[in-house]
Structure 1
């Protein structure tokens, strides 16, 4: 969903974007300053006033900035695979010089970029951009390929969807589709080789059928060099008119009312990491799948997949494309640097990977049954079978010692919990209620307290809602007071007497590797605040197994573990309060390990009054603990944290967070969006 951006927000984004351009390119800064002093462009700016949208009620100076942006980040037409160095009445000597120097290398690269077109599709004639990375192999975005293709059953093969008249949709790529040109250079798709599963990189690989008549363009070389910040690049693709852009007149000023045709838009890299690039070239929705070219070498440095209006655009780095593509073209990966090795979720064979995969058997201690799975190392596992020993806890409740030596408090009185008030929706001085499960099928799966219609398990400073079928929580919601927080040693694990013992996972999948750890949903330290008695009770309550979900032993660390602390640092300094919701993403096809369905991904939503704005803010996050081996064999592998739209979390879980989704700064993404986090400073709170 795209929120409407107000005129004042548009002005702010416009000035910020131009300020960044001027800061990063001294030559361009001087050129833009000259434009501001030009009588010609001052007159044009005055003529722009009163067109409506974000330009309505702008003074001439603000309208002039839209012209400045058009010069600083132009969008050029392409004729005969050559960028037309005409800048729509506003000459940019800087970009003319840069593009002229790159012209000989740019032309063959531009030729290898095409528009993805469909036949028999009931909705679309074309859906995005693709480009050749080998003689008959093109790359585009996952969200583009999924329009016309889908996976067949549980295998790794993809088929074209059924279209009009029951006929299969057919896909093509046209390497022309230039403004003022009616001829075509079209090749039909032979097969969809791979669509990267979410939450992996937004990319897909498609084999193109050669033609007996037309010669296919030469492919674009993937750069083996990580692009640097402020590096000059150009996006080549097919921007489409986008009704979601909040200011149509501003879009018209930048793109010149030429849509659906091949265009070139120069700009710079503004952020670079092993997993994602950010650039500031001018793009629209049809640019999904566009190539990002290094203007010095005209090699591809990335695959454009998403953008935020007047802020930033996002791309899959070339190293990741190269790694995925080599599994289908049978060549070793050319990029060997450690930072370019990405989470492998393709499900295809990896010829460049010399790791041996060994199948092992894990005996179940109680039943004698075994579980077989494949892991990329050779492992010998011995599981002990010592009987549990009875002990007595510090509060007099019986305790049990499990196979790994963990202590459990196995009995308690439900009446002991009568003083627990749970999550407080008014904790932030503005109501932030618990999320609500919307699908009827999921509401039926909510576990109620024994002998009660209540489903909220209230603890000290947090609450939990349980799933009957999964015996794990749908979510845990916690209030955190950073001013009165204290540290305490952890206690024993606890079962909750208010629900049946067999509705809780005590052991089964938990233990030393290869079993899982008990991953706290509400972190153990989060409810430890307030009076000494309340803090102690919060510490004890956090150790209930109802507040845990199976996770990899190493998962609960890094940025994921620090999200709450970073939010507290940004919360209003006079009270330092935040509310946090955390839970798993349950899927029907989650793998079963040690008799328990294991969720593959987790989410988190954090709400607080921001110290800088004084307003309630809300942000969402996800982390995955999955990767796939050939033949869809499941293993637990790499995991990374990403900032995600709260609306995405709602779609994945069936939960509704009410007004929080509207406060989310990522709620204005124009295209498929996520923001992998390598540092806490990347987080956007507003």
Structure 2
């Protein structure tokens, strides 16, 4: 890559460090970039879109795009991942030839003799392959190794170059330039000065971890042809100081000093290598495994193994120059193979002091009218057809309708379970709400102080269909209100107190990953921001909320509770200027909903996104009727698509970033 391109990337490294943790500073910088007023932008040689993408976690793609104009080979190498040289001397990287390594005088002062480990090293290197791509501009993407029979493991960020989520499972992405799916194969050779190949086709994508989960993916290999035996996994976590080795395919990585690269690699890249080193940080207390073996881009997905036993102790995934390399622990690998998700968190001791659960009999709810579909039209100063402001409950598709719990309330059968100012549609199979609907009257809001929480079962529903305090005892999940406690608290004081208490029923609760529950400030402030905006008529809103329920949602260990990865919200009001319905949609999670309907989108940890209501409908099986056309983001998307752009979602760090049209 040219000096100017490298200089641009280094400059953005410094900028990224400066703006870390400050979304407002980042936004101000990007506004200048798009306006063409950013100092020295021309010298950077980067477009505003490239600067935006680079500061939004898409650095590898930006580097690849910049390098592509200079050399396709450089572009491929630049996109292979971020790995690192940790020690400038004493950590050799040895070429593999004919399935073995030669130590000799190439050890560069490594402090231990490896001769007695040679056979174990040979056993491992032959089970490691290069992840090659077809129908793709890149020749290869990283490293993989056999973890089970006909099952290879690599990094998520490697697999995402050619594969992604497809509906409820995973599959190959489509090359948009030629309209055909990408393909992949694992070559267990690719040795220096050797022409032999040992390629096995990747038959299917078994699993790709989410962005907030350990960086791994599982690839199912074709059934024909002989394969080496899988590498056994260590029976327990390793400790600092353990002698280890890494096997992978280092590619040139400009993040490291060129002198250090030349010292270790000369000009030989993209071929299989073995590198010895030590564990520098164990994975206790939920920390990532760290090691100091020499790696470069292309080592993503490399095996980290114990030289004494030949067993795998980790999956290499990233590094920082002269600081350290990181690996997924063997415990997380085993969890992925077992289909489990492990989220480490200290237990919230405040739960121990909560009041015991109780229950309410059907007569307790007598007279509750629930959600009102004409609520927005009940303002005296509205003109025009009041029916135009009616907002019915979303309709369920056939599968969701069959799954919905029907209750008898005041002598009538209904799936819309009524409470004070809100209603719930409840899933019998998942034992949580599928959707909630609440009317909010901010002009008549009553502040109700939150006392000691006590949660209740609603005995209009069978007890066995409702979760309990014991189901939420797992330290990795929180009990999340779907209708926020404050939302229905309006009207006369007694009415508001009743509504406040109604929100503490398990029918209004869904399990949330603790990390999600702790990163939802933008989500929580959306309703107040919209209600307080000049566009809202009468300080009234209707809000629909629910989880995105998927069959493959993770089941936390030691429980039978499936935890949704994402939650959605639709906020409806009357536009004060145009006196017409105005509706916006949001998702809180890891971007899985958008991943179902788009390709190549990069997502961070649990975040809030504004999305089209039509996309929420697609993912949930709910029909929002004319709210789809009352969505300003949908109108903006159509305009931008017509102009050659493509708007799918807006990441939201603060409520003010919501697009209200």
Report the TM-score, using the length of structure 1 for normalisation: 0.48
Report the TM-score, using the length of structure 2 for normalisation: 0.49
